[in-house]
Amino acid sequence: MTTTESSRTVLQSADITRALTRISHEILESNKGPDDLVILGIPTRGVTLAERVAAQLRDISGADVPVGALDVTMYRDDLHRNPTRTPHPTSIPAGGIDGKTVVLVDDVLFSGRSIRAALDAVNDIGRPAAVRLAILIDRGHRELPIRPDFVGKNLPSARTERVNVHLVENDGVDEVTIAS
């Protein structure tokens, strides 16, 4: 389905829900249940996705999995190019992350630099037993040796293309588009 001449929709609402449901099942299987899991979203849309994953985990397992937000702004290696980046609040669940399996959630994995920054931020907060990565869209073009554990959709793209994730909570619609 095409939204404009230069942009096309690659995932619709039902596709996003299906991907997050699959990711949630994979997280529970990989962790052998909900015990000692902490879900941390990377602002902005990663936080929304993390909340949705936590809700799915609750629906599937019956257990509340702690969810929070991890701002990586001050850990980024490109602040000199974009010094006006607005920090978002970091909120770590009351039980902390020490000894837990932390699942980082983000919308799009591209170069891997945001995830590198997230790993640095996690290390400043505590010492998890393991860190896993859940991504809605993996578009390739990695600059760092980072690979997601859970992927909603692999979306090969040109470096010049832009992948946009729109979520109802942030944008009023659930869709993923790719624009040239």
Give the chain's radius of gyration (CA, Å): 16
pLDDT at 79 over 90: no
Q: What is the pLDDT of residues 16-28, one digit of tens each?
A: 999 999 999 999 9
Q: What percentage of the chain has pLDDT greater than the value 90? A: 87
Confidence of residue 70 (pLDDT cuts 50, 70, 90): very high
The pLDDT value given to residue 2: 45
Above 60 in pLDDT, residue 128?
Answer: yes
pLDDT for 78: 76
What is the rounded average pLDDT of the residues 43-56? 97
Q: Strand pairing of 37-41 and 101-109?
A: parallel
CATH 3.40.50.2020 fits 13-76+90-157, yes or no: yes
Does the structure show a pLDDT above 60 at 5?
A: no
SS3 readout for the chain: CECCCCEEEEEEHHHHHHHHHHHHHHHHHHHCCCCCEEEEECCCHHHHHHHHHHHHHHHHHCCCCCEEECCCHHHCCCCCCCCCCCCCCCECCCCCCCCCEEEEEEEEECCCHHHHHHHHHHHHHCCCCEEEEEEEEECCCCCCCCCCCEEEEECCCCCCCEEEEECHHHHCCCEEEEEC
Given a cut of 60, whether residue 4 has pLDDT beyond it is no
Q: What is the mean pLDDT of the chain?
A: 94
The whole model's pTM is what?
0.93
For the sheet with 101-109, list strands across it.
67-69, 37-41, 101-109, 130-138, 150-154
Q: In the predicted model, what is the mean pLDDT of residues 72-88? A: 79
Specify the pLDDT at position 135.
Answer: 98
CB atoms within 10 A of CB 142: 15
Q: Please check the confidence at residue 8 and state whether its pLDDT lies above 80.
A: yes
Decide if pLDDT at 108 tops 80: yes
